[in-house]
Amino acid sequence: MRKVLLTLEIKGLEYELDPATPLNPPEGFRRISPLGKIPGYVDDALEISDSSVICQYLEDRYPEPALYPRDPALRARARWFEEYADTKLLEVLGPPLFFERVVKPRFLKQPTDEDRVAANIANGIPPALDYLETVVPETGWLVDGTFSIADLSIPSFFANARMAGYEVDAQRWPRLAAYLARAWAHPAWGKRLAAEAAMG
């Protein structure tokens, strides 16, 4: 969801946010999102769901400022990082971390399984971060030095991880930690994170 909001904001598009959760979706949401995925998106042309599909649609319909490279190889590289975030980072930073430490206690009134969290921090998260440490640049952005959808996708899951009390170890993964700091210092990220903080 955050990736879609960032895309809308970077492109200067007005939008109306109608909060929904997969735990208690509003009436009619399944029509927009048959798989129950958050977010759904509605405009005068269509109704769609899945954040990557929505962002690609917004890029196609409102191409400036661009968030996907024009060069096919670079575009594929940006999409790869988007997919890595949506698949691998979701796997290790989602259910066994964010869900356990944020969703369960805050929304479900259930205790966190800290044994599950600890096992994930020890064994699940490190290989994913080891890979990212080898591909993030020392300076600039993930794809050809240009801010792109990749720089919305990868940091988003780490922003959730921070909410769950997990910080990237800058001694073990210095390039990744520095990259995330750069991303969150970007004006679009700063505005979005400030808005989230204001919401509590």
The shares of helix, strand and coil residues in the chain, as percent rounded to the nearest 5, are 60, 5, 35
Query: Residue 89: is its pLDDT beyond 90?
Result: yes
- Which structural domains are found in the chain, ordered by start? 2-61 (3.40.30.10), 72-199 (1.20.1050.10)
Residue 41: φ, ψ to 5°: -140, 135
Q: Which two tokens stand for residue 68?
A: 């996907």
5-56 pLDDT tens trace = 999 999 999 999 887 666 667 777 777 777 777 788 999 888 898 999 999 9
Alpha-carbon 170 to chain mean position: 20
Cite the DSSP H helix spans in 27-173.
Answer: 29-32, 51-61, 72-84, 90-93, 114-119, 125-135, 150-163
> pTM of the prediction?
0.92
Question: Distance (Å, rounded) from C-alpha 139 to C-alpha 137?
Answer: 5
